[in-house]
Every structure is written in C-alpha cells, then in structure tokens.
C-alpha cells in the first residue's frame, strides 16, 4: 500500500511540475523588433486556440482552459494529472475509511472537479495580472502611435516592454499581424484566450470600429486606458468592502481543523471514535464536504464582478 501511495504521489508531483513549470518563453530582442523579424514563438505561443462554440470532450475543455490559463497542457498530460490526483485520493481514503465504494466515489469526484478548479484559479490569477498591466500597455501604445508608429508596431512595442502575461499575449498578436492576419482579427485571437476580460473587449471593439470607420485611434486608446483604470479602482473599493466576508470564510473553514488539532493535543484519544471506526471516518468525510461547500457558498456571496 505504501508503495502504491508513493507512486501515485510521484506521478501527481511529476504532472504538476510538467504543467506549471513548462519553461520560460523567449523574449524577442530590440534588434529583432526593429528589423521586423518575427522571433520564434515559444511553446505557449504556438498553442492552437480552440473555439468556444465547438463541442469538446472533457479533456479538450481542460486543454482549452489550460491555454487560457497560460499553461502548456495537452490531453495526455491532463489525463495523467487527473488520474494521479484521483489515485492519491483513492489510496488515501481506502486506508482511512476502509470502504472501496466511498473511496472510489470520492476519487471520481476529484477526477472530475479538482483539475477544473485548479485551472480556473490559475486562469483567474492570470486574468487579474493581465488587467493590471493593460492600462500601462495602452498608454505605451498611444505614445508610440502618437510618434508615428502603426498599430502593429505599437502592439509589438508593448509586447516587448511589458512582462507576462500581457507581453506574451501582445507578442502573439504581433506575430499574427506579421503573418498577414488583420489587426482586429489578431486581437480577437488573443481575446479568445481571455474570454472574461471586459477591459480587453473594449480595446478589441475600439480597434474594430477604427478599422471599419477610420478615425484617431490614439484618442480611443487613451479613453480605454482611462476606463480600465476607473474599473480597477471601483473593483478595489468593492474588494475592500467585502474583505470581512472573505476573512470570515477563511476563519469558519479553518475553525474545525484548528479545534480538532487542539483537542488532539490537549486530550489524545478524544477523537478516536471518529478516526478508529469506519462510521466515524464517514462522518469526518461528510463534515469535510460540508465545510468545503460552505466555504464555496460564502466565497460566491462575497465575490466581486465589476
């Protein structure tokens, strides 16, 4: 049993390392950008963009969400990661509960839910980082276009000077424009990797309208940058007002664990009826599920959507 648990843990750690540490993207040099030579994109930049309207399998959906989270994750890696985590849960609960049916049910639930939760969390962090960088990138693009640069050159300059994730996505758009893709279409390809970024949606809309009707795009970029800053300030104010609710969710979630640890330290053997019997372990599992559901409900109630 210990050998199987160790093997499952190793596979899970190997999968997580392959997913979250795929290697650094190559940064184009200033000379390459000045000469107009498109630098070779990294593995992340070469990933295909999957359309949101397609009917995709479970692993294909995970692969699309991984691309939106900026991770290099194919279907094989997704299956390995999900199976490894589910195997750890199955073997651990089998030893704790002594019930293969309950352990298998929990492992299947983990197999179906946990990878999506991890990817959604990573995608949300990447989206927030992108939004924090967007107003500075727009100001940079407006300054470049005011000095005579084209939109493609302005996008390339922003991709060169801004760090990831915005720099990575703008380099993607720059490569697409160099290969002949229209300006609005190149930004729409980036938009598909940022499906919930309303600030970037405003930029795409401004560029699309400018391409169709003409006009001073510099003023549009400055207006979008100001709108992005105002939305960020509004979001920060709302986050400050809901901080107490988020803190309460963390306290209420940690309270049972802390109480159990203190009881075990003060009175060893006090929780033996729960840990030494199959029925008690089932009760502990149900309690853990209830606490997790309560945490999710509280987090949903205090979530901010601006």
Answer for the pair 109, 90: CB distance below 8 angstroms, yes or no.
Answer: no
Residue 26 has pLDDT above 60, yes or no: no
pLDDT the model gives residue 23: 40
CA dihedral 75, 13, 118, 112 (to 10 degrees): 60
Instruction: Say whether pLDDT at 120 is over 60.
Output: yes
Nearest residue to 254 (alpha-carbon basis) of 244, 265, 262: 262
Q: What is the pLDDT of residues 128-142, one digit of tens each?
A: 899 999 999 999 999
- Cβ-contact 189, 172 below 8 angstroms: yes
Position 225 scores a pLDDT of 92
**Does residue 51 register a pLDDT over 80?**
no
For residue 32, how far is the Cα from the chain centroid? 31
Residue 273: what pLDDT?
Answer: 86
* Mean pLDDT, all residues of the chain: 77
202-211 burial code (b ≥16 CB/10 A, e <16): bbbebbbebe
Q: Are 38 and 171 in contact (CB under 8 A)?
A: no
User: 234-278, pLDDT tens digit by residue?
Assistant: 988 988 888 888 888 888 888 988 998 898 889 888 888 887 887
Q: What is the DSSP letter of 48?
A: P
Extract the tokens encoding 147. 């000095």
> Domain-by-domain residue ranges, the chain?
2-241, 243-301
The predicted pLDDT at position 25 comes to: 36
With b for 16 or more beta-carbon neighbours within 10 A and e for fewer, the 156-185 pattern comes to bbbbbebebbbbbbbbbbbbbbeeeeebbb
DSSP 8-state code for residue 101: H
**SS3 at position 72:** coil
Radius of gyration of the chain (CA): 24
Distance linking the first and last C-alpha atoms of the chain: 49
What does the pLDDT read at residue 15? 52
Between these two residues, 146 and 41, which has the higher pLDDT value? 146
Residue 176 pLDDT > 60, yes or no? yes
At residue 182's C-alpha, the angle toward residues 178 and 185, to 5°, is: 115
What local confidence, expressed as pLDDT, does residue 157 receive?
Answer: 93
pLDDT of residue 306: 65
Inform me whether the pLDDT recorded for 52 exceeds 60: no
Higher per-residue pLDDT: 96 or 33:
96
Segment 282-289 mean pLDDT: 85
Determine the 3-state secondary structure of 197 from DSSP.
Answer: coil
Q: How many CB atoms lie within 10 A of CB 126?
A: 22
How deeply is 87 buried, as exposed, middle or buried, from its count of CB atoms within 10 A (0-12, 13-18, 19+)? buried
Nearest CA to 86 out of 108, 115, 56, 53 is that of: 108
For 186-204, how does the pLDDT look when each residue is reduced to its tens digit (9 = 90+)? 999 898 888 778 889 989 9
Q: What is the sign of the dihedral through the CA atoms of 90, 109, 96 and 5?
A: positive
Count CB atoms within 10 A of the CB of residue 100. 11
Q: What is the pLDDT of residue 226?
A: 93
Higher-scoring residue by pLDDT: 15, 25: 15
Tell me the pTM.
0.67
Contact criterion met (CB below 8 Å) for 190 and 157: no
In this prediction, residue 59 has a pLDDT band, given cuts at 50, 70 and 90, of low
Structure confidence by residue, pLDDT tens digits, 68-90: 777 766 666 766 777 777 777 77
Helices (H) and strands (E) in the chain, counts: 13, 0
């Amino acid at each position: 049993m210990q050998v199987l648990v160790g093997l499952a843990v190793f596979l899970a750690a190997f999968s997580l390392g392959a997913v979250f540490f795929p290697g650094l993207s190559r940064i184009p040099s200033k000379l390459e950008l000045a000469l107009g030579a498109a630098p070779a994109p990294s593995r992340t930049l070469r990933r295909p963009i999957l359309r949101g309207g397609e009917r995709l399998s479970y692993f294909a959906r995970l692969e699309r969400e991984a691309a939106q989270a900026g991770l290099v994750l194919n279907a094989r890696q997704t299956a390995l990661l999900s199976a490894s985590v589910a195997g750890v849960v199955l073997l651990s609960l089998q030893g704790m509960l002594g019930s293969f049916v309950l352990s298998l049910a929990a492992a299947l639930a983990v197999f179906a839910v946990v990878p999506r939760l991890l990817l959604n969390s990573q995608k949300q962090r990447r989206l927030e980082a992108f939004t924090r960088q967007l107003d500075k990138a727009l100001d940079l693009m407006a300054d470049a276009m005011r000095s005579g640069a084209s939109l493609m050159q302005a996008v390339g300059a922003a991709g060169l000077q801004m760090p990831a994730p915005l720099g990575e996505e703008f380099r993607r758009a720059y490569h697409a424009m160099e290969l002949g893709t229209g300006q609005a279409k190149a930004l729409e390809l980036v938009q598909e990797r940022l499906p919930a970024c309303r600030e970037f949606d405003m930029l795409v809309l401004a560029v699309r309208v400018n391409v169709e009707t003409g006009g001073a795009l510099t003023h549009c970029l400055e207006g979008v940058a100001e709108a992005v800053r105002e939305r960020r300030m509004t979001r920060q104010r709302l986050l400050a007002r809901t901080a107490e609710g988020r803190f309460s969710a963390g306290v209420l979630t940690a309270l049972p664990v802390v109480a159990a640890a203190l009881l075990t330290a003060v009175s060893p053997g006090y929780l033996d009826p729960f840990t030494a019997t199959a029925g008690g372990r089932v009760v502990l599992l149900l309690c853990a599920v209830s606490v997790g559901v309560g945490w999710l409900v509280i987090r949903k109630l205090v979530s901010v959507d601006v």
